[in-house]
């Protein structure tokens, strides 16, 4: 399962990139997200539950990279700071193109889990 997850993560930066210069920020982002996903694997979640969280994290990564392309100020921010800026205790950013309210709520639930995980990691440092 872990090898499969790492293989999936290695593909995300190129999927998210609009141009070649977007691949490296995507790699840095996957490095920030990998510990969270590995923790979910270790929790022994049902396959469907894990897949839902993984897919939401992929969606989040795509949204972060998309926003970097559209906003020069965001593009200047380090990826870990940008991730912390877009993920809040209440959830994640609104996804564009717009998704259904139900899908956004499910996405936000994953982002809340990610937020708690990031806060926990900060406290452990």
pLDDT value, residue 21: 87
pLDDT value, residue 1: 86
pLDDT value, residue 125: 75
User: Domain spans of the chain?
Assistant: 2-124
Burial zone of 50 (CB within 10 Å; 0-12 exposed, 13-18 middle, 19+ buried): middle
Could you say which residues of the chain have pLDDT below 50? none
pLDDT value, residue 4: 95
pLDDT value, residue 51: 97
pTM of the model: 0.95
**Token pair for 94:** 């609104």
d(CA 70, CA 28): 19
């Amino acid at each position: 399962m872990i090898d499969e997850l790492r293989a999936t993560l290695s593909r995300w930066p190129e999927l998210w990139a609009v141009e070649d210069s977007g691949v490296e920020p995507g790699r840095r982002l996957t490095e920030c997200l990998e510990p969270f996903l590995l923790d979910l694997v270790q929790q022994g979640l049902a396959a469907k539950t894990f897949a839902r969280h993984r897919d939401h994290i992929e969606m989040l990564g795509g949204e972060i990279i998309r926003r970097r392309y559209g906003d020069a100020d965001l593009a200047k921010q380090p990826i870990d700071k940008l991730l912390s800026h877009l993920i809040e205790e209440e959830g994640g950013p609104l996804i564009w193109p717009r998704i259904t309210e139900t899908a956004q709520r499910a996405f936000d639930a994953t982002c809340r889990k990610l937020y708690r995980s990031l806060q926990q990691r900060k406290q452990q440092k």
